[in-house]
Structure 1
Amino acid sequence: MNHRRSYLLTLIACLAGAGIAAYGATRTWSLDVAHRPGMSDVRTPRTGADLEPWMIGLALVALAGTGALLATHGWVRRAVGVLLTLAGLGVIAGALAGRLGLDVGEAGSGATFWPIACAVGGAIIAAGGLTAARQGHLWPRMSARYERKPAQPHSPEPGSTPGPLAPAALTSDETPVDPRTAWDALDRGDDPTS
């Protein structure tokens, strides 16, 4: 697989995994319903984020890390890949910890589906991060037009005057004026063209 293709697939995988994990963590994993005769039932839903709040944080870290994959290169990009792998593994651990021993109440199939979706999202993030850690240094860099280039030093040619002025300017009667003399005249308050 060429490097551009693996780069694009990794970016898409990390974005998709973070989105799946964040969405799954905000769905209902447990629903307690207290039935009260003659009154409405009291429903207490609990999401994955209620059970393990740091899963949302790790999904956001994965989103930010995907942006960092675009902006970095070399060993920094590989380090971001390691961070993404750890974030993905953390989401998987959170999904498992939140679901194990949970009394799902009347949540139905969502109590099983959403934790699995979070774990799958975490696995996709971890796979993308692992790919970035292994191949990130081979991927293309951001275009050079977005990077600041240092100014080139200007070395005047022998016999020319230094500075940003042209070597000579013409007055109305077409006689050359020395730029340094013109600046000196301006400093004194005189008109250098007369």
Structure 2
Amino acid sequence: MNLIGRLTGRRGLATTAVACAAGAALVLLAATRGWQDLVTNQPAPLPPITKHRTGAEIAPWLPALGVVALAGAGALLATRAAARLVVGALLILSGAGVVAAALVTLGDDVKVVWPLLCALGGLVVLAAGLVTMRAGRSWPGMGARYERPVAPQTNEKNEPKPGRPASQAELWDALDRGEDPTTGDRP
């Protein structure tokens, strides 16, 4: 059985969301480290000036893409069905953007370790997006307690239709009115 086939259900959702968050954190960490040292020579008695440039200074979109990926990790937990596929597509795009931005900066006296770690984080985000596109429909959504309550059904006269109340509050309200909420009968 392939890896994506094992990433179904709650375990697959949790694994993918944690991997996406870890990849995004790696991107954000690597983008804030010193990638390049620029040395400017001065006249003889003065020492040379060294300026350290971070990955965010070299490629300013790296932290933004890292934040998008981090938000996508949270969105994986909060969405379902078609919306989760949109999140997966955004994760693929942001992961590919991070990889491209990190690898383009190689050369020109750039320290190799931070761009490669940034690209690795982007690959993890990209992989999380691909897994989401492939297995995201089989993952469960959030519980119903987070959804908006359903409005009670009414007839033409705007009176409640007979039947079982939809929520706990309606059950108690029916008892307060002297109705038996377990039957469909109304007095």
2:55 maps to which of 42, 48, 53: 48
Residue identity opposite 1:14 in structure 2: C
Note the 1:105-124 alignment, pairs <5 A. Answer: 111-124=111-124
Task: Give RMSD over aligned pairs.
Answer: 2.1
Q: Does 1:69 align with 2:57?
A: no
C-alpha contact 1:78 1:135 (8 A) present in aligned 2: no
Partners of 2:112 and 2:92 in 1: CA distance: 24
For 1:5, the equivalent position in structure 2 comes to 11
Q: Does 1:23 align with 2:21?
A: no
User: Which segments of 5 or more consecutive residues in structure 1 lack a partner in the other structure?
Assistant: 105-110, 158-163, 168-194
- Offset of residue 127 of structure 1: 0.5
**In structure 2, what is the equivalent of residue 60 of structure 1?**
67
Q: How does 1:177-188 map to 2 (within 5 A)?
A: none
CA distance in 2, matches of 1:103, 1:27: 15
Aligned AA (2:91): L
Matched, 1:79 2:86: yes
Give a deviation string over 1:54-76, Cα, whole Å, max 9, x none.
11111111111112111110011
1:153-188 deviations in Å (ceiling 9; x for gaps)? 32369xxxxxx9948xxxxxxxxxxxxxxxxxxxxx
Unaligned runs of 5+ in 2: 1-5, 154-159, 164-173, 179-187
What letter matches 2:81 in structure 1? G
Structure 1 residue 40, shift from structure 2 partner: 4.1
Task: Report what 2:46 is aligned to.
Answer: 39
Distance 2:121 2:177 in 1: 63
Residue range with higher mean Cα deviation, 2-11 or 33-42: 33-42
How many aligned positions are there? 155
Cα contact 2:76–2:84 (8 A) shared by 1: yes
**% same residue:** 44
For normalisation by structure 1, the TM-score amounts to 0.73
Q: CA deviation at 1:94?
A: 0.3
Q: Distance in 1 between matches of 2:64 and 2:162?
A: 57
Map residues 98-177 of structure 1 onto 2, 5 A cutoff.
Answer: 98-99=105-106, 101-104=107-110, 111-153=111-153, 154-155=160-161, 166=177
Corresponding residue for residue 101 of structure 2: 94
Larger Rg: 1
Distance 2:94 2:78 in 1: 19
Aligned letter for 1:136? G
8 Å Cα contact 1:28/1:48 also seen in 2:
yes
C-alpha separation in 2, matches of 1:102 and 1:136 = 41
